[in-house]
Structure 1
Amino acid sequence: MKIFKLITALIITVTFVLGCTHDDYVPANGTGDVGIGESPDELLVKKFSTAPVFDGDIDDIWSEARPLINKATVTGAGDREITLNGSSGGNLSLEPTDLMDPYTGESYSYSLRGGHDGEYLYLLFEWEDDTDSQQRESWFFNPITKQWQQENKYANHKNDKFYEDKFGFMFPIGNPAGFSEGTCTVTCHGGLTDPQPGQKVTRHYMKNDGELTDFWHWKRDRHALAEACDDGYIDYPWKDGVDLSGTAAANARRNDEGAGPYANNQKFTDTDTGMVGPLYVVPGAENYYWIVKSEIGTVAKEVTGIDENGIISYEGGTIDPNGDPAYSQGFGSKRIPSVIINPGGQGNDGRSEVQVKAIHTGSGWQLEIRRLLYTGDPTDAEFKIGESIPFGLAIFNNAAIAHGQTNYLSMKIEN
């Protein structure tokens, strides 16, 4: 097995509002066969004589595929006009200015290889990341207010990052206007009007009615059991017959049809005390980042009450967080997960047909990705043998929305 070694190099950051080019590409030195080479912007999808074993490990066959090696850089996305975190209480001064802060300027080295066997497209996607980030809006106990709260979804500062790792890919469906030249940037619209509480003023939607973009979105915690990503698409922002383009409500990201592999650990509100907390808990558990749906009713208990001191009641016992630092904000080992997960379709429906086998090596992510070249679904991109298709990608390092991105890429499917 060959493990891709990321190269430490000088990062030259080129900042744009809606994306980055490959100007910050730094060639890898000695990471591949000289005869194969590498590219900063073209992924050559190799015709495999034998398909790799789809298990997340790196088989020798991958050494035949030329890597696309580049960096995904977090660039600015426009100022916030309204608070995004409930903890801010509407005070915009408590949150950073740009939507991508405090991640702006971060850059993540990655390698992407491609292959096909005439039926499936295979991708090997590796990027540098020393930490397997799994804390996603976990519940903690505030001993001063005696209340349960959640970590912020959107980091207010560099020490406020409690989210999961993610990736995203975008491919055109058909020939949407401008995608060949702009890839992901054509779906990104900033300066949107009339933001309501929690709404961002930069959103993804298509410029023209009837156009579509295929969007693959993998989330470390929420896809842990599904071993797939959310296969979805971006279209025009119609909702209930109303054209929302130009407004902060114009979110046109949709999921393909299929079972959802995750849901929120809903809020419980005690009708007597008014105290709020998570609906499900696993008493005594430490360093757990999700609750499996099948655990509910067994190891995972439904909350039945929260008293004025924050003591949680459930059938069979109580949780008293007072004086216990394990429930504290930031690094408490007993913080309670915000997410319930289940296997979903596991590759058997449209939403989960992009399958992902993920391994965190200790220094980075190593993911094998597989999808049929042609699914027959009108909301999926078609990968045609002998042709090229433009695409863009994004890496989310412990972030909800802030993502390093590389646009203006192309994929050539070898005959």
Structure 2
Amino acid sequence: MILNIIAGVKWCNIYITNNSYHHKYFNMKIYSIAILSILLAVVFLNCTKKDQVVAVTTTNTTDLVAYKTSSAPVIDGTIDAIWDNAQKLAITPTVPDAGNGLFAGYIGQKFPATLRSMYDGTSIYFLAEVPDDQKNIKSSPWYFNTTTKLWAQEPTAKTFDANGVLTREGFGEDKFAMLWNVDNSTPKFSTQTCYASCHVFTPYLDYSVTPAVLKSNAASGNHYTNGADEKIDMWWGHPNRGFAFNKMDDNYQDWAGGPAITNLTGGNGNGRHFDDLVVSSTSATWPFRPVYTADATQGSISNRQSLKLNGTGTTVTVPLWVIPNSTDDFIKASDTLAGGAAVKITAISSDGVLTFADGTIDPNISTDYQRLGSSANSEVGAKCFPGNIVAPVNNGRADIDMVAIYTGTGWIYEYKRLLKTNDVLKQDIDFSSLEDQPFGFAIWDKSNYQHGIQPNLMLKFQK
């Protein structure tokens, strides 16, 4: 009780001192009782207020407390002072062993990060800080191979020889994701979060051969749920999908047609879809996957095409659009429009020279467009072209505003979303009830598929 009173006094910023050592014992006792009575009353009154402040300095390993705020942070990648009011949750997403070789070379890697959250009457806000000594957002860049005299793209993940020796670092992206249970529709999510829809361990019958054979999911780790009404909201902080336009990419996961289909297709049973897409008909592709409506051109498209060497020779792949002499991480779709900075490659010579409408690019005269470094220190030339053309996400995919800032030592991701969106397709999590929400968090570091996972986290709202 005395400790509670002392804590209450400290919390209320009430400090009482008594520098007199000459009072009689009786008077001192009466004085002490009176003071303690006053303190009890003060603590009682304050601790029964409905707007009691949660101790924001407390951290644990699973709970993220969203601080109730009357002043919203500015979503600009600068950490405003108001964020000091929010609890900082330390997490360490770790790359698991998926059991199918998909994460080989990354298993056990840890990506420490911190999360904070706030909310007001309309929106919820998040701040993620991820230490990282290297910025990687130019996915699978093009480079010129001086030996083969051909253009090629770097791998998005580490590559190894037959003895398991690293032959080349990956050139994937730094990104992150959050998963949420839409309307508590996915029962397993409450205890498994991220793993509730990940089916990398599930074998399937491969009907591409006769007779069909049981195979492991060695090719991919696609997500899909286990029931027609089960959906998971998936938020991506993805460099090639909205990242460059201050948006996250809002996706969802469903059951991909159900076990009768996913048990046959295995890795092809992909339940991940962009928001706004729905099953368009009862028709299906081989073997029997449902067909979803088409997405408008948004997010990113591959920056590649096929041309013949010297116009008549062997067909090779080369970049489709380039910005000559640029060191930018992105080529935006707007760059490819009339008057934009990008030019379209129209021809390729046998020695690798690229031709466009008003000139050429000769990759032989410097290392600007070439593969550099050893397997342990892989690099590319400063002017190597991005592997994707990026465009803004729109409509339901654009529900989440985000600014990503690389500081030189790590990433600051600051983002917000309405507590309740205009979604009528049950593809978004609804926070408006302020109920506790389980979630999972994932971090990629210079990779495409391989990522660290932090499951079984819980968002709680300060009332």
TM bin (shorter chain): 0.7 to 0.9
Matched, 1:262 2:304: no
Rg larger for: 2
User: Per-residue deviation at 1:414?
Assistant: 2.2
- Aligned residue among 64, 69, 81 for 2:85: 64
Distance across 1 between alignment mates of 2:194 and 2:442: 9
For residues 65-94 of structure 1, give each alpha carbon's deviation from its aligned partner in whole angstroms, at most 9, with x where no partner exists.
Answer: 112112111111122xxxxxxxxxxxxxxx
Does residue 414 of structure 1 match 2:458? Answer: no
Q: CA deviation at 1:56?
A: 1.6
The equivalent of 1:282 in structure 2 is: 323
Whether 2:400 is the aligned partner of 1:354: answer yes
Provide runs of 4+ in structure 1 moved above 3 Å.
Answer: 191-196
Counterpart of 2:448? 400
Q: Residues 138 and 330 of structure 2 are in contact (CA less than 8 Å); yes or no, is this contact kept in structure 1?
A: no
Q: 1:55 to 1:35 in 2, by over 3 A?
A: closer
More helix by share: 2
Deviation of the 1:389 alpha carbon:
0.7
Q: CA deviation at 1:265?
A: 1.1
Is the counterpart of residue 189 in structure 1 residue 220 in structure 2?
A: no
Secondary structure of 1:397 counterpart: strand
Q: Equivalent residue of 2:59, what SS?
A: coil
Q: How does 1:5-404 map to 2 (within 5 A)?
A: 36-79=57-100, 98-157=101-160, 159-175=168-184, 176-191=186-201, 192-193=203-204, 194=206, 200-238=219-257, 243-245=261-263, 247-257=266-276, 260-270=298-308, 272-273=312-313, 274-285=315-326, 287-296=327-336, 297=338, 298-329=340-371, 330-345=379-394, 349-377=395-423, 378-404=426-452
Deviation at 1:220, TM superposition (A): 2.5
Q: Is the 8 A contact 1:78 1:202 kept in 2?
A: no
Tell me the distance in 2 between the aligned counterparts of 1:245 and 1:168. Answer: 26
Q: Post-superposition shift, 1:386?
A: 3.8
Matches of 2:263 and 2:239, distance apart in 1 = 31
Aligned to 1:85: none
The 1:343/1:201 distance shift into structure 2, 3 A limit, reads closer
- Give distance in 2, aligned partners of 1:195 and 1:110: 43
Aligned amino acid, residue 364 of structure 1? G
In 2: Cα distance, 1:178 partner to 1:34 partner: 31
Amino acid at match of 2:60: S
Q: 1:328 to 1:199 in 2, by over 3 A?
A: farther
What is the identity, as a one-letter code, of the residue corresponding to 2:299? P
- Tell me the secondary structure at the aligned position of residue 72 of structure 1: coil
Is the 1:120–1:372 contact (alpha carbons within 8 Å) kept by the matching residues of 2? yes
**Whole-Å Cα distance in 2 between the matches of residues 141 and 195 of structure 1?**
39
Contact (CA 8 Å) 1:268, 1:303: kept in 2 or not?
no
* Gap change, CA 1:283 and 1:268, over 3 Å in 2: farther
The unaligned stretches of length 5 or more in structure 1 are: 1-32, 80-97
Amino acid at match of 1:174: D
Q: Supply the AA of the counterpart residue of 2:130.
A: W
Counting matched residue pairs gives: 359
TM-score (norm 2): 0.73
Counterpart in 1 of 2:31?
Answer: none
Distance apart, 1:222 and its partner CA? 4.0
Contact 2:237 2:243 in 1 (8 A): no
Report if aligned partners of 2:440, 2:456 keep a CA contact under 8 Å in 1.
Answer: yes
Distance 2:241 2:65 in 1: 30
Give the match for residue 92 of structure 1: none
- Indicate the RMSD between aligned Cα atoms, in angstroms: 2.3
Q: Percent identity?
A: 32
Instruction: After superposition, give the CA deviation of every residue in 1:11-47 in whole Å (9 maximum; x if it has no partner).
Output: xxxxxxxxxxxxxxxxxxxxxx976211210011111
Task: Please tell me the residue identity of whatever aligns with 1:173.
Answer: V
SS in 2 for 1:211: coil
1:135-177 CA-partner distances (Å, limit 9, x unpaired): 3111111111111111012321564121211101000012212
Check 1:293–1:402 CA distance in 2 against 1; reply closer, same or farther (3 A cut): same
Q: Is the 8 A contact 1:42 1:411 kept in 2?
A: yes
- The amino acid that maps onto 2:145 is N
